[in-house]
Structure 1
Amino acid sequence: MQPDQIATFLDLAETRSFHRTADRLGVTQSTVSARIKALEAALGVMLFNRNRAGADLTTEGLRFEPHARALRAEWAAAMRAAGGAGTAALVVRVGMQHDLVGGRLAEWVARFRAELPDAALYVELDYSAQMCADLMTGALDFAVMFSPRAHPDLHFVTLGDMRFRMVSTHAARVAEVEPGRYIFGNYAPAFAAAHRAALPHLHEAPVTVGQAAAVAGLVAGLGGSAYVAQEAADAMVAAGKVQLVADAPVLTQPVHAGMALRQRTARLQGRLLGIVRHQFGTRR
């Protein structure tokens, strides 16, 4: 039983398509088929019912799936342990939402290092979907994100809300915002839904950008109006680059901490959760 067989099984269990799994894993369909056949031979059972529409898990496949997820996570942990961490006692891998960190990465890292002085810290700035996938595979120990993905192997804790304010180079009020010069920051589904409900006439903007730093840069460089994080808005206003659109509603985006379900009571995850709770001023 090989790690790539487990990974292929879990992907196929999700996609139910040999073609899609081959595309996602970057291999041929024949390779996917060969890995599944080898895994079935090792287990002595059929894991999938093949049909013209794709593949469905058999009863045996359904029973094997949670064990496969556990095997994948344990393999990732074993690989990391075997790789070592130099003189550090352990490596802690933390994922952070791009737009959440902003210019405060040094502050976050300093807090982690102060609380975990014996650990080598690996920080990955990424988007929610990839961080959820990395938590499931064991590539991350902990993540702070906008959009949790419901999954039986994942556990999430709500930390609080991130505030966004509308700024503009030309408008002091929403009525003065020029739709043709509006930049929509598509930060996360929850933010997009709040934006559509509050400002439907600005939701179909001519320019849409998915990263806060890029939105702020476009407004400062090209002019126009957009929502940016409160901290960025304050800095841009203080620098004289923009003004707040006074009557634009404050929009919020929930922030969540994520970890593998099996690690929700682990001491490391508890300490990491305590650190990020402190950053957001939230309590247990």
Structure 2
Amino acid sequence: MTEQQTHAVLGLRSPLTPEEAARRARRFGPVYYAEHWLRRMRGYGWTVLVTAVGTPLVYLFGMGVGLATLVDTGTNAAFDAGNGASVSYLMFVAPALLATAAIMVSAEENTYTVMSGFKWRRTYYGPNASPLSSGQLVDGHALGLGVRLLITCGAYFIFLLLFGAVGNPGTAWLMILTAILGGLAFGLPLMAYSASIQDDRGQFAMVQRFIVMPLFLFSGTFFPLDTLPLVIRWIGWISPLWHATELGRMFSYGITEPVWLTAVHGAYLLVLAVAGWLLARRIFTGRLGA
């Protein structure tokens, strides 16, 4: 009895030949690497849980029970959100907090994680020695990042609903997608930058202090962007956080803005994400080979 017949009798699937395994890897390489990328998250699953659940609770209690109470009281319970919209302050900041959560996750997963793959744990070299190409590693990383962003933003959105921070639930769930797009628009260029670094000499700390934090503070997160002086308003204009937040506010409570501006928000985020993805593939290929 041949090996194939034995497997058929026992109801087992015949093992793939090396050629078949290689063909599957070339076809589904990004999915395989994304699975590996997500499985490794079990090593720091507690951190993922705290990020997805604990962080929104802290921010929403701080905004909904603390700052929002003061702002709403001082504005007769109707915060002027700009663009002709008047909503509660919590409803105004909710889309920004959701987009910020995506930005923070992207910053976490596209700095030290990428450096580790090249330098400390060298986890990119094993898969790259298989039929998986360096470009597929980037694709798998981006796919895995998208799944984690979906988990984080989905959990965050549930808390927003529970806190009454959503204007129109029928369309507000689209904030999840705009936040994910904002996270990719920020994270994929950062991934390319991280892949270009040979040694950690404080670059990632600089990114947190001089890029992530200013974007968080000056992207219309806590107040309309047009209330800022022009000398710093440009930070919001170039910030993926502001563009993702404005899209989220449109889906949540329907801010009024020109159609062309809405198109600019979406196009800007897509361009950043695609440019970062292409640049990351090029840098990965240069460091790992085709």
Shorter-chain TM range is: under 0.3
Taking structure 1 as the reference length, the TM-score comes to 0.23
Taking structure 2 as the reference length, the TM-score comes to 0.23
Where relative contact order (Cα < 8 A, 6+ residues apart) is larger, the structure is: 2
When you count strand as a share of all residues, which structure comes out higher? 1
When you count helix as a share of all residues, which structure comes out higher? 2
